Amino acid sequence: EPLKTIEGDTGWLTTVLFTADGQTLITASDNHTIAYWSVTTGECLKVLRGHSNIVESIALTSDGQLLISGSRDETIKIWDVETGECLDTLRADRPYEGMTITGTTGLTTAQQQALKALGAIDD
């Protein structure tokens, strides 16, 4: 039998972790958010927003001061645990970032999607 059920997240959970003191549960979700939950009350303490796609993974630094999140939006975000502020966003450069190819004709949808994924064209 479960010790406690925490309800309220509006998406599918992708990962969960406890803070070192065991008092807070942190969840990542397919609704692009990260939520902090009180283990004792089940109350949602705060929600971090900033990713534009599913949050796949979360981890705390060893001192518990920073939360690191990875998302399908191809970014890694570094959050201040206390304030919930996003301190930095890391993203690898795509091979053709900023090339902005325009005026192309005769490209298939698949070719257009490939160029978009490489950063060569915008929507």
Same domain? 23 vs 54: yes
Residues 21, 38: Cα–Cα separation, whole Å: 11
Main-chain phi, psi angles of 109, to 5 degrees:
-60, -40
Q: Based on the fold, state whether residues 106 and 76 are members of the same structural domain.
A: no
Shared domain for 19 and 52, answered yes or no, is yes
How does residue 122 score in pLDDT terms, banded at 50, 70 and 90?
Answer: low
pLDDT digits (tens, 9 = 90+) for 44-84: 999 999 999 999 999 999 999 999 999 999 899 999 999 99
- Give the containing element (helix H, strand E) for 117: helix 109-117
Residues 85 and 116 both lie in one domain: no
- What pTM was computed for the model? 0.75
My answer on whether 117 and 82 are in the same domain is no
Based on the fold, state whether residues 34 and 18 are members of the same structural domain: yes
- In this structure, the answer to whether residues 114 and 77 fall within a common structural domain is no
Are 99 and 111 found together in one domain? yes
Strand pairing class (55-60; 13-18):
unpaired
* Domain span holding position 103: 93-123
